[in-house]
């Protein structure tokens, strides 16, 4: 890897380029409150965060990224519209043999704008593409919004929709749930026996007969969960057509222009997907207006499903052909995050980060 001085010089160069766009430079505390913030990052970051206990402020963590604290800052006292840029260290624990650094510099850019979200998506992607153009990186794009829209269009219970939406970022768990909800994987005999007993017994009586309640769940919570399991077991499976449509969407990987045509075809069978497909088309038009070859841009509907869990729309990355490397840059749209941190207020938002150490390393190899 390059020297710390070379990495810092690259970070300063990228940060200066972002400032030249008119973005307001901001800083956030290195030590951030844990708890609710960790829930926003998802399982991957929760497992890799450096967490400590402060005698006054309670559980705290070393900043694992900038987006969440920047969103918090904006929702507390930001103007509209707003563009921010930042530079600083983030901290993430790594596996024992991982080549990735546990602390590294991150440069980022965030856009908060209520109007023309497709143009804001295109702005961030095109800006990063321009900054990274000399490195000949491989771009990748996706759209979590398409997957969320398809889930909401399913003719099933809200509980099942919520379960699928919650596990979008866990592909194996998502697949297992989808196969179970579609009736492709019948329950194990032991589970069937348990469900049969629960369906023919009063939950409160079973709990009382089991003896003292151990653990953190109350008897009321256990009874509610029991009834939910029984209700789910009695729910009809997804139709074969709906399951096949979702399979088709998850497997979609093509140049964006070709993908748009295929998405239009999928929307014929799933009309509720049309607004998300229209947003996809608007984004391609906005990218083309900024000089990006949008029709040829690689698109995978499942891209971004192993990244930060607050993304809910357009997602992108720029990758080097180096084994074990994370994306040199990545980002996406996170409208729902602003609603969570805004306590009832929200604003559409999109942003991304660059890794100066990787940029410096690639420049050194050129």
Number of Cβ within a 10 Å radius of residue 212: 4
* pLDDT tens track for 86-116: 999 999 887 666 567 889 999 999 999 999 9
Q: Is the dihedral of CA 153, 156, 158, 162 positive or negative?
A: negative
Looking from the CA of 329 toward its CB, the CA atoms found within 13 Å total 30
Query: Please, are residues 319 and 281 in contact by the beta-carbon 8 Å criterion?
Result: no
Which CATH code fits 1-137+320-366?
3.30.930.10
H or E stretch at 63: none
pLDDT at position 126: 98
Q: Which of 50, 73, 76 is CA-nearest to residue 63?
A: 50
Q: Which residues of the chain register pLDDT less than 70? A: 36, 42-44, 95-99, 187-201, 203-211, 216, 230-231, 365-366
Please give the structure tokens belonging to residue 131. Answer: 């900054």
Helix axes 144-152, 158-166, angle to 10 degrees: 160
pTM of structure: 0.88
359 contacts: CB under 8 Å, gap ≥ 6: 10, 14, 132, 135, 328
* pLDDT tens track for 217-270: 777 777 777 777 766 777 899 999 999 999 999 999 999 999 999 999 999 989
Query: Apex CA 18: angle with CA 12 and CA 24, to 5°?
Result: 105
Q: How far apart, in whole angstroms, are the C-alpha atoms of residue 352 and residue 106? A: 10
Please give the structure tokens belonging to residue 15. Answer: 């940060």
Please give the structure tokens belonging to residue 89. Answer: 């260290």
Please give the structure tokens belonging to residue 303. Answer: 């891209």
Query: Please, are residues 195 and 329 in contact by the beta-carbon 8 Å criterion?
Result: no
Beta-bridge mates of residue 62? 31
Q: Is the peptide bond before 107 cis (omega within 30 degrees of 0)?
A: no
Q: Is the dihedral of CA 249, 178, 348, 33 positive or negative?
A: negative
pLDDT at position 199: 62
pLDDT at position 134: 94
Look-up: residue for tokens 């080097």? Answer: 320
Q: How far apart, in whole angstroms, are the C-alpha atoms of residue 109 and residue 16? A: 11
Phi and psi (nearest 5°) for 316?
A: -150, 165
The domain ranges of the chain are: 1-137+320-366, 140-170+240-311, 184-236
Look-up: residue for tokens 């998405």? Answer: 263
Q: How far apart, in whole angstroms, are the C-alpha atoms of residue 48 and residue 93? A: 5
76 contacts: CB under 8 Å, gap ≥ 6: none
Beta-bridge mates of residue 315? 142, 332
């Amino acid at each position: 890897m390059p020297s710390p001085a070379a990495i810092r010089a690259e970070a300063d160069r990228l940060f200066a380029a972002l400032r030249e766009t008119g973005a307001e430079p901001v800083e956030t505390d290195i030590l951030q409150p844990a708890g609710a913030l960790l829930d926003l990052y998802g399982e991957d970051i929760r497992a890799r965060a450096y967490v400590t206990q402060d005698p006054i402020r309670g559980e705290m963590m070393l900043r694992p990224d900038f987006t969440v604290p920047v969103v918090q800052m904006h929702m507390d006292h930001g103007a509209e519209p707003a563009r921010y840029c930042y530079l600083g260290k983030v901290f993430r624990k790594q596996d024992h043999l991982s080549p990735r650094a546990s602390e590294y510099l991150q440069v980022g850019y965030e856009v908060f704008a209520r109007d023309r979200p497709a143009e804001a998506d295109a702005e961030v992607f095109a800006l990063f593409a321009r900054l990274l153009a000399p490195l000949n990186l491989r771009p990748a794009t996706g759209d979590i919004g398409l997957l969320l829209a398809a889930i909401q269009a399913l003719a099933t219970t809200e509980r099942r929709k919520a379960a699928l939406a919650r596990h979008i970022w866990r592909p194996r768990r998502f697949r297992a749930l989808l196969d179970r909800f579609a009736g492709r994987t019948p329950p194990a005999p032991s589970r069937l026996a348990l469900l049969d007993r629960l369906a023919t017994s009063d939950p409160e009586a079973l709990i009382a007969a089991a003896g003292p309640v151990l653990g953190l769940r109350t008897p009321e919570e256990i009874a509610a969960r029991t009834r939910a399991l029984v209700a789910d077991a009695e729910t009809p499976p997804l139709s074969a057509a709906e399951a096949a449509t979702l399979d088709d969407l998850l497997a979609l990987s093509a140049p964006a222009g070709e993908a748009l045509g295929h998405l239009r075809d999928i929307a014929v069978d799933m009309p509720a997907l049309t607004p998300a497909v229209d947003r996809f088309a608007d984004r391609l038009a906005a990218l083309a207006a900024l000089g990006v070859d949008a029709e040829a841009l690689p698109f995978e509907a499942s891209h971004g499903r192993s990244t930060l869990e607050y993304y809910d729309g357009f997602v992108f990355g720029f990758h080097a052909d180096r084994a074990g490397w994370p994306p040199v840059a990545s980002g996406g749209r996170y409208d729902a995050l602003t609603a969570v941190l805004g306590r009832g207020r929200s604003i559409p938002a999109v942003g991304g980060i660059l890794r100066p150490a990787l940029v410096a390393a690639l420049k050194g190899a050129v």
